Structure 1
Amino acid sequence: MAQSQGWVKRYLKAFCKGFFVAVPVAVTFLDRVACVARVEGASMQPSLNPGGSQSSDVVLLNHWKVRNFEVHRGDIVSLVSPKNPEQKIIKRVIALEGDIVRTIGHKNRYVKVPRGHIWVEGDHHGHSFDSNSFGPVSLGLLHAHATHILWPPERWQKLESVLPPERLPVRIQED
């Protein structure tokens, strides 16, 4: 009996040590490196959720790639909604700071993206709550860069940073 209690005690001690090491490592990884997220809605169709409401893509979100606010035109990014800080949205980067963009339904026909901001839009115009609704977005709201579709399996793929030709900025700020 005493021998079996010693085994249980050793097992619990090893479990606790492993648990108290693994949990902080996992939390740090998910917070700083990468995580997965389910994409809901039609705003990014056809790039994401092409099947409509009956399917939801699951994407890999890479936090590491945006740690220095390094984003490029055409990247699909996750960001904190400027209208609801409790919500994360996923959009395509259309323009970077200094670029002049032709808007779709914004109060101004042309907008120069201010320093420290980006212009984001959903791929499905008219079904997207994006910069055309709320204007340029602060880089401080950037959450992650969507790099791959993980689910459903038949859609496994790398997400390319492609900017539709009709959404190119009118003037691009030279670096």
Structure 2
Amino acid sequence: MAQSQGWVKRYFKAFCKGFFVAVPVAVTFLDQVACVARVEGASMQPSLNPGGSQSSDVVLLNHWKVRNFEVQRGDIVSLVSPKNPEQKIIKRVIALEGDIVKTMGHKNRYVKVPRGHIWVEGDHHGHSFDSNSFGPVSLGLLHAHATHILWPPERWQKLESVLPPERLPVQTEEECLHGSP
């Protein structure tokens, strides 16, 4: 009987040591390196959630990749909502600082993205709360870069950084003044 109690005590002690090491390591990993998130809504269709409300894609979010605010046009990123800091949104980067973007429904037809900001939009225009609603987004609101679809299994894939040709930034301010196609 005493032997079995000793075994339980040793097991419990080893479990506690492992637990108190594993939890901080796991929390640090999820906070600094990568995590997973379920994507809700139609704003990123057809890239994410192509099945509509019947399915939700689960994506891998890479925190490490945006640690120096290094993003490219076409990247799908997670960011803190400029309108609700308790909510994270997922959008595609359309323009970087210094770019001039032709907006879609914004109060200004053209916007020059200020320093330290990006322009983000959902792929499903008209069904997305994005920069066309709230303007350029501070790089400080970046949370992560979405790199892969993990669920459902039939949609496993790497997410490519693709910018639709019609959303390329305007090349010069003169194009804004004289109109571009």
Structure 1 unmatched runs, 5+: none
- Check the 8 A contact 1:101/1:171 in 2, yes or no: no
Give percent identity, aligned residues only: 95
- TM-score by length of structure 2 reads 0.94
Q: CA deviation at 1:171?
A: 2.6
Question: Counterparts of 1:169 and 1:88 in 2: how far apart (Å)?
Answer: 25
Question: For this pair of structures, how many residues does the alignment match?
Answer: 175
- Check the 8 A contact 1:98/1:172 in 2, yes or no: no
Question: Counterparts of 1:137 and 1:20 in 2: how far apart (Å)?
Answer: 38
Q: CA deviation at 1:172?
A: 7.5
Q: Deviations over 1:138-171 (max 9, x none)?
A: 0000000000000011100000000000000003
Q: CA deviation at 1:108?
A: 0.2
Question: Counterparts of 1:153 and 1:172 in 2: how far apart (Å)?
Answer: 44
Q: CA deviation at 1:2?
A: 1.3
Structure 2 unmatched runs, 5+: 176-181
Question: Counterparts of 1:112 and 1:34 in 2: how far apart (Å)?
Answer: 32
Moved over 2 A (4+): 171-175
- Check the 8 A contact 1:99/1:173 in 2, yes or no: no
Q: CA deviation at 1:5?
A: 1.1
Question: Counterparts of 1:7 and 1:56 in 2: how far apart (Å)?
Answer: 46
C-alpha spacing 1:59/1:172, structure 2 compared with 1 (3 Å): farther
C-alpha spacing 1:174/1:98, structure 2 compared with 1 (3 Å): farther
Question: Does 1:103 find its partner at 2:103?
Answer: yes
C-alpha spacing 1:24/1:90, structure 2 compared with 1 (3 Å): same
